Homo-oligomer: A and B are copies of this chain.
């Protein structure tokens, strides 16, 4: 389930708290993003189509709920980036993470800790 950029915005707002109305989602969008109400409705419809979001009506208003978890969305974003740019190989990615200073010293330390924890169990 690959989300587009705009869809990510909607999903993030929805993951924060749900179920939620389109109106609520609108208020939760990041500052830079100011979409028309109908734009949000359109995005939601498309997400419902894709089964990434569920919709139930309460009165004349729709309540939306994520069907796609953030974890899965992330996994999908990650693996598709990995396939695309690193031919699916985590090896080069790891190399890249280290070489490109994508990790701060602190993160590296934490990473080491976690890795050690894991190898310990």
Interface residue ranges, A against B (CB under 8 Å)? 5, 8, 71, 73-75, 77-78, 81, 84-86, 90-91, 93-98, 100, 102-105, 107-112, 114-116, 118-119
Residues of chain B lying within 8 A (CB to CB) of residue A104: 90
Interface of A is mostly: helix
**Copies of this chain in the oligomer:** 2
CA distance A102 to B78 in the complex (A): 10
Name the contact of A91 in the complex, choosing from B71, B85, B107 (C-beta under 8 A): B107
Known: A8-B84, A8-B85, A90-B103. A96 touches B111 (CB 8 A): no
Decide: B96 and A74 in contact? CB cutoff 8 A.
yes
Residues of chain B lying within 8 A (CB to CB) of residue A96: 74-75, 78
Chain B nearest CB: distance from A72 CB in Å?
Answer: 10
- Sample (21) of A-B pairs whose CB atoms are under 8 Å apart: A8-B84, A74-B86, A74-B96, A77-B81, A78-B81, A78-B93, A78-B96, A90-B97, A90-B104, A90-B107, A94-B111, A94-B114, A98-B114, A98-B115, A105-B119, A108-B115, A108-B118, A108-B119, A109-B119, A112-B112, A112-B115
